[in-house]
Structure 1
């Protein structure tokens, strides 16, 4: 009996044969024997060349069988054999990509794929891999148009007369550039790049710079117009053209700004965050919607709010006018701020039950947040969520009308326009039965219901009248919206919803809606401790609402006192059995308590925010700084250093003696004064003689001279300062110690008040700030002993240390306050590295400068690094690569900074 084709494959690999048989059995029509034989023969042939090629060819056939596109199998078979015959590597690449290309069913894409492969193959196999792999990823993502343009770009580029190095560089550069483009704009952006490549290959690099500067925000016609202008002006001038396409010239910048209509979120993020902070009173993060986890399945154009962050589109291009798009960003944030200001996320089931006692709340889940428990009551979750959105958006509108009527006056027309456009301008032809309700209550749109049924009209009028009366009440809360859901849910499901068809959800402006599974994640952080406190107080017969506890824990990031609790209690006289230790155990687990406990005698504790540049906002009370006095073990380090550097010390003392004020200073050329300025009297006489109007500034003044400078020296005590210098028995910190001692003597000589502190860290909960010398403390033996005991400790969470130093220094009254940071590198700690740490430190420096504190960095034992400009700001730091020069350089730097004060 003749064996079936798959039995031959089973002899080579039983697993492949079994998998292939399963796919064939799932087809609508059985595969004929000839096609089966062809598939098996090709797989076996590929395995005989190289095992990886065989498995890749098998996976290609498998994809085609799974998609039930039998007509593509002969084409795939023929092409794989052709390309694999020239080499296994090319065969593997084609077998991997060709099924996706064939399944696109786009002839133009398929033909361009073959042409591009042929073009690249002619140059050399080293060209093929990166560009085609990148093309495959874009095609797999669903961007067929962008993938087609990528193939055209490759063909056009490698048709040029390029040398080996140019070709090699472009095979890495072009794929990376294409993949970095926004998917919805990728196709037309690559199309414009192709135009540039045809004229000058080098312009592609300039174009990438231009895209980063803002060209990526231009719409299709605007970008085409920009490229047209550049080509017309500079087609025969490579350098000027490059400057134009990189937006490096004023001409290009002006043209770009005139063409731009969309707005990037990053350009407005700081302003929007500042507005939110000013209005709400707490830091609310503004984040791009792209940062949301994929599991929430949101589109890039949605507006979401999780109770802690507002998620906005990364780019706003709803309107063809830039100003209108900026205004839309502002309006969205103004309306979303209302949910924080009027307590949408403070929902409490117990408050709902107490306030609306006639509403029965049965059969709800007992686990999860109050929102989760509330919506578990309803069998049709989408309808209940839509009803809540309608009533809560309406409540916020009424609150805005009461307190911020200007926001409603400018915002409502914009939202109405968006809704009209999204429903094709047919205001009454809505697919969702609840759309009219949303438009009327939330957006104040005209309600014409003539085309609706009598049942709908009656119910619609009843809902509108009752909900307006309830939601307009000054005492209305989020529980009011929830109560209205409970009242109308059953009737709406029974009379308005077609149970035969799937329910279609309401449309809101830019999909502004509540994502309750997202809310569940953010609320969960303080839900458990709030529940523990609530339950414990309930057992003690103390009346308090869980939502109030959770709100306070969230606002104060877990810090709460008995006094705070008392303010929330309804019966405030039952607090005898409560103490701080009990409260700490309710909020934190045992592990957290061990890390947070400290002895009040060993240090004062402070909390500071930390800046997250990626989020564009602060993490409130994120770091914990413990201030301690440095230990004072008796040592002779101070005196020994003075003896070693006696010659340098005499020189420093002479220079700093000159900084001390001499007493009085004579000011000349005054209209009034204590004595005549004889030089001016001579000029007066000469001017009279030559008939010139003389000056009346003939007097001198004697004023007392002051030098009003205070300095704070902040030392990095990180572990890395223990490194020894080449050919020396001294460590980096030993040399810093010598420099500090000489610095103290110099400051004592000129009389400037000064403070010294060191810092180290082990994570955000343990930043230790050691006071070595307080500003009002004299240079006593104790202070000298502390300086002599300076030693390398742990890590460098510089932002927290700078904020605490600024806090202490801000209490000092001086005309010039100079904060000098002495470090051997960049900030580094657990979860605090690279860009994140640098940007937080820079933010802390800017905060200090806003208080009138000048911050200067001195970095030792490090070669000049451009990133120091990012850390301290250009011109605000000094690098001493040879740390042995520090004892001489530190006083010199200070002298230079303050000599004119």
Structure 2
């Protein structure tokens, strides 16, 4: 005890009077964690005052076990758990809970910290459980948590936290059924790993859900239905459980004051209706799991409310087309953009479990070498940021970086150009193998993984430097992504000097500071800095990179694998000696060792798969509002939402698509295109003007068969004379007068601006979008001569949350220079979600007072967007066109797609369509199509 006092672990007053057993426990606790021991000593007087000595010894004993598993949890335990132990009131309950908690310490053999946290939660929630259960059920309550912990410690922690509140809303004998339902809600994510999101959500929300259902019997019915649904579709089950209070309130809530037969009859009827409501969801489940989920989540018009669940991720499928345009534009090659699924587990050595294999065949290839010669591989989903726009930016930067490796020659390095380096490596390290590829050159080093990482850092730095130099438009996005990627990394990896130097090189490769690196590494860093500057010069090549990487390896080669940074921080609580690497943890090959490959920056392909557990549930509405507010200032109007027809549900998805309307203020350029079009088609424009002026009505017209007027209607007068001679009663309408004649037509032209319009049509490089723009300019010139009211719109899509609707000319706008410039500035954008764009154009046409209202849909192919393709897209577009017809609007689809007849008959139906057989003829054809429609 004198030793403990000398270390200031406790004071003599605090420990005076303790028996030898308790003193021995404190000595043991001090050896495990001094901080935990200090917290224990502070709480000890209160513990001895309020609890029996046996309970206090058991309390300390449990704290020792918890602190052994997790020092931080041990400190929390002694700070917070005493109140819960005292709250158990009787010594018997206290001992039972503490004993049960001790049994949970080793519940997870792979993670002692998980068992420590589980035991801590068991103690902290024990008093609440006893308040609900009384003397009975306590052992069974702890046993359920222990068994659940063997399956998943995280779920068991949530069990202990939430089950006391759950026991207030359901009987104890149904607690196991509640846990079973939670287990069934475990799903697998896109990376084929377990996803506990629904399980945790269910555990946490059950008290709130069931407390909103007034009767215990109904709660148990809801729980049973949830179990049945979870057997077949976890997402449908969770949607049902979340919406059950609303359904119960709407269907099963009985009016007050009813008694006897009347109440029983109404209850039976309500039960039947509730069964039918659940049964309809079960029938939807027979069709598809998504149908059932949408049904129970009330996402369709059939439901009482619309609730959209949020997943802040962006899928590659959404970005595939624009990213392919980007990489093909950068490289000038026809590259595909496909998904890759990185292995979650690195290869390990059978002889040394946990250590990466040093054989080159087992070293994971760097991201830049994972692509094939015609494919760029990207993650299937990015959830790195809360905002979709930020995830989309990361996709663009990742694609540009990988395209840079193609453009700037990473894949063009041949072994012959570095043969002198191979000879030098043979002499330096004694390897006699002759490499046949650059990949095999790394095998000549004692540590292939280290050599590869150094080359990866250097080559990535060269490519990034060239990208930001030659494509200034990428600099802003890359700078932002780089800054965020660096801040997400640990300050410096613990371990050897080599590890820290490699991390510093990674930061230097993106021009970030190396503040915080130990001074013992600084000399090497100073020598490496000018080497990295060499590869960032415009004249550097891929050969330069591999030679610089070799020089860097030489710098690190002088370091021993056992070299550790000098301690520059205070000792940790658990020991006074510096931890040294065990010789058994190293594989010596000269100066090589079992080097752990560094995790690359996320945009360079080093991002680990992100579990959907990290996504907040209800962010989507907030993000959409923030996005619309930010875009309004940049020339965008607030977002508008429209329903969308889901043929798989046989119903509309309520407020499913978001239209973001652009006022066109951000569209620049285009004047030269318009001017050239007016020159190229000047004779056609003159002919169209004369033709359309010819069908313009004269300002006045004669109206015959009137009772009075300005002149005699000769035909009517002759007919009157004939009638009199035939002795029949003649008509008195023998006059005529003149009245103003007005043409009453309003037309909206909706133009597809999807990425596919970037397709080249001829040897002159003219694209589909250029032909569309020429057609719009000629149509505008003709309509100006005719005098009809018209509007010109464009649309593209980036998923249902971001359908862009661009205004080139509104009905009330004049066809002036600004309007022409907007048309000339149209460029291919993203994808095309036709249904939402049609509905928005129809909403504008509805405000027109013209007798004839036309909607022309100008497209180059079938509708396509994220989760909007094939039958789904065709049926939604068809419904949007039918909706227009029901409102008295005449839609017509004009397309240059040769495959159009295979789907337009189905998509357009009664709306009608025209296929222009040659895209180049569209400018001449479009005005004549309009003329035939309106005359």
TM-score (normalised: structure 2): 0.38
TM-score (normalised: structure 1): 0.39
